[in-house]
Chains A and B, each alone.
Chain A
Amino acid sequence: MPVYSFTYRPFEGKYLRHFRWWIVFLEEVRLWNRSRIFQILFLLGMLQPLARFLQILSYNSAMQDPNHPLAPLIRSVTWLKVNEELYYNLIRLQAPIVLLLLLYVGAGTVCTDRKNRLWDIYFSKPIHWYDYLVGKLLSVIFCGLSLTFVPAVILMFTDYVTKKSSTWTGLFSYLPVMGDSLMFSLVLVVPSALAIVAASSIFPTENITVISVITILIANTTLAGLLSNFMRDGNYMQISFPVAIYFMGQKIFNVDRNIFFRTADVSGFNMFLYIFFVSMLCLLICIFQVRKAERG
C-alpha cells in the first residue's frame, strides 16, 4: 500500500502571509550552498581569516608572556600587531575572493530564472517583485558578509578571549572597530552585489553576466588610469570602482596609505556619493527588470 493514495485531496493547512522574501533568500542560500565550486571558493576565502586567527593567538600569547621564545620577534614585526588595521587589512585582502564568490553566486540569480522561464511560475504565486528581489539581493549580500564581517567579528571575539586581562566590559571597546568593519564590509559587498544582480537581470546567461561584470571593471579601471595619466592628476584613479571602495575603507578605518594615487584632496563624502550613485543605478536596473516581469 503506498503512503499516499492516488487522489487529489484539499489542502487543510494554514497559509502564512508574511516575509515571502525570506523564502526566496533561503532557497538561494540552499541552492549555492550545495555547489562544490561554492564550497571550494568559500574554503579558499576562509584561509586568510584562519591565518589572522593564528596571528591573534600568537601575538596575544607572546605579548602576555615576556618569557615566550618568539616574543621579541613578534614584537618587532609591525604587521603582526593586532589593532584596528588588522581588520582593515582582513577585509581589504578578502576583496578579490569575495568578488569571485559574489560572481559565482550572483551571476545566475536573475538570469537563470528568466532563461528557464521560472518567472511565469514564481510570479503566479502570491509574491511581489520586491519580495523576489530583496530575497535574491540579501542572499548575495549575506554571502559576501560571511567572508568579511562575520570572520572579523569572530576574530574580535578571539582577540577578546585570548587577552587574559579582559573583563566582560572590555567587549564594548570592540564596538567602534566592529562598526568600522561592518561599514567597510557593506561598502565592499553591497555595491558589488547590486552590480552583479543588475548585470544578471540584463544579460541572458550566467557566463555573459560574469564576462560583462569583469569587462566593465577592467574598462572602468583602465579609463581611470588613462584619465589620471592624461590629466596628470592621480585623483582621477578614484573613478575606478575598486579604487573608490578601497579609498572608502581607508576613510572608514582612518588609515592613511597611498596605494598608487593621491588622495589628499578628495573627501570621503564625495567618494561615498559616487559609490552610492552607482549602487542606486544598479538597484534601479534590478527593480526595472524584475518589476516589469511581475507587473508588465
Chain B
Amino acid sequence: MAFIEVENLTVSYGETVAINDISFQLEPGVIGLIGPNGAGKTTLIRTFLGFIRPVQGRITISGFSLPKEILKVRAIVGHMPEREVVSPKVTAVSFLVYCGRLVGMSYVDALERSHEVLNYVGLQEARYRPMQTYSTGMLQRVKLAQAILHDPKILILDEPTNGLDPDGRLEMLQLIREISEQRGVTTILSTHLLPDVQNLCSQIVVLKKGKLVYCGDLQSLIDSKVNHYEVSVQPPMETFKEELKKTGIKFQELPQEVLSLHLPESIQQQEIFRCAQRAGTIIRSFVPAGGSLAELFQSKLDKEEVS
C-alpha cells in the first residue's frame, strides 16, 4: 500500500469543481505539489486535512482513510498554512505550548519541545516577544515550528517561502531539507517556485484546473527529457531532415538553422550521427535540450492544453 493514496477524488465548492476525478499514489519522500493559480493545490491540501469533504473518491494517508479517521491523520500531520497566521498578544512560546497541548502533549512536554523547536527554526531570543512584533519571515518560522512541534510523520507546507527575502528563503529550504532528510519526514511542498521543487523534491504532483497532469518521480521526468536534443548541421539540411524522417525521429525547426529533435525511447542518440553520415553532412553542434523543471512543467501543461 502506498503512503498516500488518492482514488477518483472530486472536490467542489458548490457548483465549481475544484478537483476533478484525480487518482494518484505517493511514496514517502519529499513531494512537490505544483500547478498554476487555481489548479487546486490548496484545495487538495485542505482535503487532506479534512477541512473540505470530497464529493466523491477515497483518500488514504499512512493507512488511515479520510474523512473517517481524520483525527488520526491530523495527529501525524504537521501543517504550515499559506496565509499569514498570528496570535497578536501571545509570545511564540505560549502559542507553541498551546499548539502542543492541542495535539495531546502534557504541559511540561509542550513547553520543553516548544523551546527546542523555536531554537531549531532560529527564533532564539525572539521567542519571548509577542507575535505582533514579528516580521513576515519570523512568522513563517513560527508556522514551521508549530508544524514540526509534535514530530509529525507528514509535513504539509503550503508556500513555505512566501514573503521571505533571498537569505530567508534559502534558510527555510535548508530547514525543510534537514527535517525531511534527517528525520525521514514525508514532506508535501506546495509552491509556485519550481527551483525549490527541483532542489528538494523526489516526487511531483502537477495539477491544472483541478485535473492531474503528472504524478511520479521527478528524476525520471527530467531524465526523459534527455531524449531531446538541439542539433545544427552544415547546410543544406534537406537530406538530413529526410533521413531523420525515415528513421522516425521527430524534429522541429528552430531559428538559426537549429533543429530540435525528439528521440523515441527505442532510438539511441548515435542514430542522429548515422543520419548525418547518410545525408553526407557534418553535425556542427549537438546539445541536450531543456532539463529544467520550468520547461518540463510548461511542456506538461501545454500537452494538457492540447489534449
The dominant DSSP class at the A interface is loop
Please determine whether B85 and A126 come into contact, CB atoms closer than 8 angstroms: no
Please determine whether B119 and A2 come into contact, CB atoms closer than 8 angstroms: yes
Q: A8-B178, A118-B85 are in contact. Are A13 and B106 (CB under 8 A)?
A: yes
The A/B interface has a contact count, at CB < 8 Å, of: 108
* 5-43 of chain A: CB within 8 A of chain B: 6-11, 13-17, 20, 23-24, 27, 31
User: In the complex, which range does the number of interface residues on chain A fall in?
Assistant: 35 or more
Q: A4-B115, A9-B116, A11-B113 are in contact. Are A126 and B75 (CB under 8 A)?
A: yes
Q: Which residues on the A side are within 8 Å of B183 (C-beta)?
A: 8, 10
Alpha-carbon separation in the docked complex, A3 to B104 (Å): 25
Contact pick for A10, options B46, B49, B151, CB 8 Å? B151
Q: Is A123 an interface residue (CB 8 A)?
A: yes
Q: A116-B85, A121-B85 are in contact. Are A11 and B102 (CB under 8 A)?
A: no
Please determine whether B53 and A295 come into contact, CB atoms closer than 8 angstroms: yes
Bits for B45-62, please: 1 = Cβ < 8 Å to A, else 0: 010011111000000000
Please determine whether B182 and A8 come into contact, CB atoms closer than 8 angstroms: yes
Q: A13-B105, A294-B51 are in contact. Are A121 and B99 (CB under 8 A)?
A: yes
Q: A16-B104, A294-B51 are in contact. Are A125 and B99 (CB under 8 A)?
A: yes
Nearest residue (CB) in A for B48 is: A124
Please determine whether A15 and B84 come into contact, CB atoms closer than 8 angstroms: no
Q: Which residues on the B side are within 8 Å of A124 (C-beta)?
A: 49, 74, 77-79, 81
Q: Is B71 an interface residue (CB 8 A)?
A: yes
Q: Is B249 an interface residue (CB 8 A)?
A: no
From A9, A31, A125, residue with most partner B Cβ within 10 Å: A125
Q: Is A117 an interface residue (CB 8 A)?
A: yes
Nearest residue (CB) in A for B124 is: A2
Please determine whether A120 and B79 come into contact, CB atoms closer than 8 angstroms: yes
Which of B86-94, B194-202, B218-226, B251-259 forms part of the interface with chain A? Answer: B86-94
Please determine whether B182 and A123 come into contact, CB atoms closer than 8 angstroms: no
Q: Is B120 an interface residue (CB 8 A)?
A: yes
Contact pick for B51, options A7, A31, A128, A296, CB 8 Å? A296
Please determine whether B151 and A117 come into contact, CB atoms closer than 8 angstroms: no
Min CB distance B94 to A, Å, is 8
Contact pick for B83, options A14, A23, A120, A123, CB 8 Å? A120
For B, the interface residue count at a CB cutoff of 8 angstroms equals: 47
Q: Which residues on the B side are within 8 Å of A79 (C-beta)?
A: none
Q: Is A288 an interface residue (CB 8 A)?
A: no
Min CB distance B186 to A, Å, is 15
Alpha-carbon separation in the docked complex, A27 to B104 (Å): 14
Q: Is B179 an interface residue (CB 8 A)?
A: yes
Please determine whether B104 and A15 come into contact, CB atoms closer than 8 angstroms: yes
Q: Which residues on the A side are within 8 Å of B74 (C-beta)?
A: 124-127
Q: Which residues on the A side are within 8 Å of B52 (C-beta)?
A: 296
Contact pick for A13, options B53, B109, B117, B182, CB 8 Å? B109
Alpha-carbon separation in the docked complex, A127 to B75 (Å): 9
Q: A120-B81, A296-B52 are in contact. Are A6 and B120 (CB under 8 A)?
A: yes
Bits for B93-118, please: 1 = Cβ < 8 Å to A, else 0: 00000110111111001000101110
Alpha-carbon separation in the docked complex, A52 to B102 (Å): 41
Nearest residue (CB) in A for B88 is: A116
Contact pick for B71, options A11, A118, A128, A293, CB 8 Å? A128
Alpha-carbon separation in the docked complex, A17 to B106 (Å): 11
Please determine whether A127 and B102 come into contact, CB atoms closer than 8 angstroms: yes
Alpha-carbon separation in the docked complex, A20 to B74 (Å): 14
Nearest residue (CB) in B for A127 is: B102
The list of the 5 closest CB pairs from A to B, nearest first, reads A15-B104, A124-B79, A11-B151, A296-B52, A120-B81
Question: What are 29 A-B interface contacts by the 8 Å CB criterion?
Answer: A7-B120, A9-B116, A10-B183, A11-B105, A11-B150, A11-B151, A13-B105, A15-B103, A15-B104, A16-B104, A23-B102, A117-B84, A117-B85, A120-B79, A120-B81, A120-B85, A121-B81, A121-B99, A122-B99, A124-B74, A124-B78, A124-B81, A125-B99, A126-B71, A126-B104, A127-B102, A293-B51, A295-B50, A295-B51
Residues of A near any B CB (own CB < 8 A): 2-4, 6-11, 13-17, 20, 23-24, 27, 31, 116-118, 120-128, 293-296
Other A-B pairs, 16, CB within 8 Å; known A3-B115, A295-B67? A7-B120, A7-B182, A10-B183, A11-B113, A117-B81, A118-B87, A120-B81, A120-B83, A120-B85, A121-B79, A121-B146, A123-B49, A125-B99, A126-B72, A127-B71, A296-B52
